[in-house]
A and B are shown apart, each in its own frame.
Chain A
Amino acid sequence: MKQGLKKVCSIIGLTLFILAAPTIYAHHSFAVHFLPEGEVKASGVVKSFRFANPHGVLEFTVINEDGEEVQWRAETNSPSLLRRRGWSRDSIKTGQEVTVTGWPARNDEYYMRIRTVTFADGSILATQNGINLSQD
């Protein structure tokens, strides 16, 4: 009876876990390197975009409140997964203005895991399922 209850609890726990967990994954640990409950947002101009496994990397330049240039780096989840969500190596181009939201790194003020990239025309690229893509 006790063991049966344990299994039921496991199933309920798994259900809650699946409902709560974002589909985040990394060749490195996500939970260790990023704040799962955090959110960061930065706007700037794309310096480079690398689209290769295990992570894509977007480098962009942000002008901070003091008028100084700050170099941001933002990683994506696996490009293999993103290809099935509409991304390609040409999705983001050098010189484009972007606003990037994501999960902040724990130990680097200017590093994040990307959640969305919004372009000047309002279109959005998302790294997770369940977010409406509006890019043409």
Chain B
Amino acid sequence: MKNHFQNKLLLALCLLLSSLVSLVAQAADAPDISGFWTVKFEQTPSGTELFAKLPEDAIFINDAGGGELAEGDFGGIELTESALQEVRDYDFDYEFSMSYTCMAPSAVFYMQAPFPMEIDQGRDIIVFRMEYFDMVRVIYLDGRGHPGDDYPHSKNGHSIGHWEGDELVVDSTHFVPSTFMNNGFNHSDDIHMVERFKMSEDGETLWLTQVYEDPAVFAGKASRYMAWRKVPGENIYPYDCDPSFGR
């Protein structure tokens, strides 16, 4: 009985050690994506390798960077009835109120905003410091899982990541409901987002694809694509949102 327990303990330790060795090895081989990145308005999308990995049934949303979809245009996504009702009830005038003015979007939306970001990369965490609304996002690479349902939800959500070769794969949950398209369409607090980051071989371009699932709000999957250009020596500016813009 005692030996059986010891064997199990030994096996568990071996598995844990093996995981740690694997994580360290991944981190050691990982490319360094640290630095200042500014949105790249490409004439032709260059991150085709990531495009190829998008799920074939994911609706592609063409609004990243500088674009926006108009009122009532959801890019082909089929909203649930409750989500449609929420859109119908949405008060666009509220967007000009003082209480709304400095309300930051979630990472689901702010990653594709046309603002620069700085990435600080460590072995166990990667920090994304966004100029937009001064948002800070932490990606845990230490092998932890997502916390339980009682963990607080937030605009940044909870993100865990790992390296698959030269691609950083990030899985995010625990968001609060927030805008999805900036046109009255919000995601729920159950949205699940999977991202793939990949840097070009010359280190000058960073690509990202995002895949979302949010069954309370829309059927199936949706996706976005983004690209940034590296600018050495630059820094993000403080956003310091001033609510007095609102009326």
Residues of A within 8 A of B (CB): 3, 6-7, 10-11, 13-15, 17-19, 21-33, 50, 52-55, 57, 75, 78, 80-81, 83
Contacts and interface: CB of A to CB of B under 8 A. Distances in A.
Contact of A18 (B41, B71, B100): B41
14 contacts: A7-B51, A7-B54, A11-B44, A11-B51, A15-B43, A27-B102, A29-B182, A32-B71, A32-B92, A33-B95, A52-B242, A75-B245, A80-B115, A80-B131
A54 B48 contact: no
B95 A23 contact: no
A63 B60 CA distance: 48
A14 B225 contact: yes
A6 B44 CA distance: 17
A89 B155 CA distance: 30
A53 B103 CA distance: 12
Contacts of B161: none
A31 B43 contact: no
B66 interface: yes
A29 B92 contact: yes
Contacts, number: 104
B240 A18 contact: no
B183 A29 contact: yes
Contacts of A24: 66-68
A7 B45 contact: no
Contacts of B183: 29, 31-32
A49 to B, nearest CB: 13
Interface in B137-182: 182
B71 A14 contact: no
A23 B102 CA distance: 21
Given A7-B51, A21-B66, A55-B245, A31 B71 contact: yes
Given A17-B67, A31-B68, A80-B239, A23 B43 contact: no
Contacts of A6: 56
Interface string B27-71: 000000000000001111100100110101000101001111111
Contacts of B225: 14
B45 to A, nearest CB: 5
A31 B68 CA distance: 6
A21 B67 contact: yes
A29 B52 contact: no
